Amino acid sequence: MKRLEDKILSEGIALNEQVLKVDSFLNHQVDPKLMQDIGQEFARRFRDNGATKVLTIESSGIAPAIFAALELDVPLIFAKKQKSITLTDELIVEPVYSFTKQMTSHVAVSRKFLNSEDRILIIDDFLANGEAALGLGKIVEKTGASVVGIGIVIEKSFQPGRDKLIEAGYQVESLARIKALAKDNISFVEKGE
């Protein structure tokens, strides 16, 4: 998605070869028009998948996901990150390991908002090692519902997340695919690459 790539080039900061900071338009300050474009692009790519709900994780997933949900005319659910596990019958909880933060958090969704008939489109801001998306996929599948696609705003294609998701059988659509990061140099995967 050209407009997103341009924004990453003009405002993204490669802190090192692993970490891209995009807190001026996605993770802290948020560009609402760009989020709307992103939501519309997700809707275009997944329109025929018959999603009944969009699922994301707080907090940075919410802005792009709400526009995708609006366009697809379905509700959004945002999974909650919990420090402590308060296991109740009402919550479905999955541990998700973050390589960046080197810690495990627990991601929870209320059982009452997912049922076995649901067809879930997962949206997240970043794809690196795939742990968050796989965790959300597990939550969905525990309810008997199905995942009809995974939409990612920024994929770090040099990390193994995409391959893991495809291996798990998911359709993955990433709006920007980063091939390599280096100080003052961000390159994208070209079409067909």
Position 26 contacts a second copy (CB under 8 A): no
Is residue 91 within 8 A of residue 148, CB to CB? The reply is: no
Query: Does the annotation flag 131 for ligand binding?
Result: yes
Q: Binding mask 128-167 vs a second copy (x if CB under 8 A, - otherwise)?
A: ----------------------------------------
Pick 62 or 181: Cβ nearer a second copy: 62
Position 99 contacts a second copy (CB under 8 A): no
**Rounded-to-integer distance, Cα 4 and Cα 2, Å:** 5
Query: Does the annotation flag 27 for ligand binding?
Result: yes
The residue within the footprint of a second copy, chosen from 4, 14, 20, 63 (CB under 8 A), is 63
Position 88 contacts a second copy (CB under 8 A): no
**Rounded-to-integer distance, Cα 83 and Cα 155, Å:** 26
The residue count for binding a second copy (CB under 8 A) is 30
Give, in order, the Cα–Cα distances in Å from 116 to each of 38, 49, 119, 149, 172. 28, 16, 8, 16, 22
The residue within the footprint of a second copy, chosen from 2, 16, 33, 102 (CB under 8 A), is 33
Residues composing the chain: 193
Query: What token pair was written down for 60?
Result: 């940075």
Query: What token pair was written down for 133?
Result: 């998306």
The closest of 152, 154, 161, 140 to 51, measured between CA atoms, is 140
The amino acid that residue 97 corresponds to is Y
Query: What token pair was written down for 26?
Result: 């996605």
The amino acid that residue 23 corresponds to is D
Position 121 contacts a second copy (CB under 8 A): no
The residue within the footprint of a second copy, chosen from 11, 13, 45, 80 (CB under 8 A), is 80
Position 58 contacts a second copy (CB under 8 A): yes
Positions in the binding site for a second copy (CB under 8 A):
23-25, 28-33, 35-36, 58-59, 62-63, 66-67, 69-70, 73-78, 80, 83, 109-110, 113
Binding-site annotation: residue ranges:
20, 27, 128-132, 156
